[in-house]
Amino acid sequence: MKYNFFKFCNKISILLFIILFLSSNISVFADDIDPEQNPSAQLDSLSITTSSNTNSENLNLNARSCVVFDRLSKQVIYGKNEYNKVKMASTTKIMTATVVLEKMNLNETIEVSKKAANTGGSRLGLKTGDKITILDLLYGLMLCSGNDAAVALAECTAGSVQDFSALMNEKALELGLTNSHFESPHGLDSDEHYTTAYELAKLSDYALKNKMFSQIVGTQNHTVTINGVPKNLSNTNELLGNLNGVYGIKTGFTNGANRCLVTACKRGEMDIICVVLGCDTKNFRTQDSKKLIEYTFKNFQYVNIEQLLTEKFENWKLENINSITISKALNNTVELSISKLENPVIPFKKDLINNIDFSIDANCSLSAPINQGEIIGNIHAYCNSINIANTNIIVSNYISKRNYLDYLYLFFKDYYTILTNYSNFI
């Protein structure tokens, strides 16, 4: 009996050891993880500046924050806490690649430093003294999320990680990313390294305009050369090649940020960026991304709101142009038009398109002089009492004011007309 008891305890000890071993090595498969990070670090450790929810539908998402961003109109289609400051993990490398692509010769070969080679987390597998081109480093950065590649790129671009981070922050300010701050090229957890889902989408939209960036993040498999020896890489983006329309862009994971995924997807004319941040598992980030993408393409379509506003204006002008009076004007002819919209085409829910209505407010009693481009009214488009677009009614021609000579001329003209009529009458 005593022997069986000790045998039972021994089995329990072995089982506990296996469980602890497996749980301690789960993060080995992460695409970006610092083994020295405190595993208890929480996503919401950063102070929240804004919290919003721009959607009216509950998709039961696991992500702490997310956004669907329309690339054509630059509008948010769906959002959950999209303006909250959060850690971003390896999605940081979108900015890293952007800075490098704009500043470096991609064909240049560099030598890997000891610091770069010893960088932890996900790796390309670089060693001190390795020779590799900047282009191959970019593939290693974006496909297998190499932190060693990130540091190597930072050092060859700016001399150090610190100086490269300064370049990243300069670019962020240039792009208007006022709620983003960068302290590294790889995104390992740091209290002052953060962004928002919305600003990450804006950054991604900008980055994808670079053809080389778009080519790299849209590549599923690629072979790089290190010291003349080929090495095959596979993209960590689980949606690339597996979901209709997906053409990039970046995965991310740290203990502080949890699972993150930025996805670019285009179907037909509609082109979107989906960002999910702070998912508990890789499966959640995948499913949340799919939910958001499928929801968007199923429920939204582009509407040329400028065209609708123009049609409404032209109908109004036909009915009202002769009612417009202009006092003190030398020429009473007035030409009207509407100002152009910054975003003439917008994504709109299909089942609400027929609910779009318009209101027009214009001043029909004018006084000269009137400058070309002067605003005399506006048109609002709204849906269910919510304003969705507006434009100004403007005067397209210059209308001058009469001066004393004009009045004198008109006086004699009228006097002459009276005399002529009187003479003809006699």
Tokens 């919305």 label which residue? 198
In contact, 137 and 225? CB cutoff 8 Å:
no
The pLDDT score that the predictor gives to residue 411 is 55
Tell me which CATH homologous superfamily contains domain 304-404: D-Ala-D-Ala carboxypeptidase, C-terminal domain (2.60.410.10)
Query: 280-337 pLDDT, tens per residue?
Result: 999 999 999 999 999 999 999 999 999 999 999 999 999 998 888 888 877 778 999 9
Closest CA to 192 of 202, 180, 200: 180
Residues of the chain with CATH 2.60.410.10: 304-404
- Whether residue 121 contacts residue 89, with contact meaning beta carbons closer than 8 Å, is answered with no
Give the model's pLDDT for residue 42: 32
In the CATH hierarchy, which fold is given to the domain comprising 28-280?
Beta-lactamase (3.40.710)
What local confidence, expressed as pLDDT, does residue 333 receive? 84
Please report, as a single letter, which amino acid is at residue 193. Answer: H
Element (H, E) at 119: none
First-to-last C-alpha distance (Å) of the chain? 145
Q: What gap in Å lies between CA 193 and CA 204, rounded to an integer?
A: 17
Read out DSSP for 92-113?
GHHHHHHHHHHHS-TT-EEE--
pLDDT beyond 60 at 35:
no
User: For the chain, where do the domains classified as CATH 3.40.710.10 start and end?
Assistant: 28-280
Position 415 scores a pLDDT of: 54
Q: Which of 122, 145, 180, 190 is catalytic?
A: 145
CA pair distance 157, 99, nearest whole angstrom: 9
List the catalytic residue out of 65, 80, 87, 90. 90
- For residue 93, indicate whether it is catalytic: yes
Kindly provide the residue ranges of all beta strands, DSSP E only, lying in 191-309, ordered along the sequence. 221-226, 229-234, 246-254, 258-267, 270-279, 300-304
Read off the pLDDT band of 417 (50, 70, 90).
low
Residue 113 has pLDDT above 80, yes or no: yes
Question: Residue 39 has what pLDDT?
Answer: 31
Torsion of CA 110, 116, 122, 125, to 10 degrees: 50
CA distance 334 to 363: 13
Residue 279 has pLDDT above 90, yes or no: yes
Residue 38 has pLDDT above 50, yes or no: no
pLDDT for 95 beyond 60: yes
Confirm whether 90 is a catalytic residue: yes
Strands 325-327 and 365-367: parallel
Give the pLDDT of residue 28. 32
pLDDT digits (tens, 9 = 90+) for 333-359: 899 999 999 999 999 999 999 999 999
Q: Which residue has the tokens 């590549």?
A: 219
Residue 26 in this model has a pLDDT that exceeds 90: no
Band of residue 367 on the pLDDT scale cut at 50, 70, 90 = confident
* Contact indicator for 249, 80 with CB cutoff of 8 Å: no
- Cβ atoms within 10 Å, residue 222: 18
At 370 the pLDDT is: 87
**55-86 as b/e, with b when 16 or more CB fall inside 10 Å?**
beeeeebbbbbbbbbbbebeebbbbbbbbbbb
Long-range pairs for 38-41: beta carbons < 8 A, 24 or more residues apart: 38/255, 39/255, 40/255, 41/189, 41/255, 41/256
340 in active site: no
Query: Residues with Cβ < 8 Å from 385, sequence gap 6 or more?
Result: none
Mean pLDDT, all residues of the chain: 86
Backbone angles phi, psi at 409, to 5 degrees: -60, -45
Q: What is the pLDDT of residues 141-178, one digit of tens each?
A: 999 999 999 999 999 999 999 999 999 999 999 999 99
**Tell me, what's the pLDDT at 357?**
95
Query: What pLDDT, on the 0 to 100 scale, is given for residue 410?
Result: 55
Considering 91-105, 329-343, 371-385, the range whose residues carry the highest mean pLDDT is 91-105
Structural contact between residues 205 and 74, judged by C-beta atoms closer than 8 angstroms: yes
Distance CA 326, CA 278 (A): 61
Choose the catalytic residue: 80, 85, 87, 93.
Answer: 93
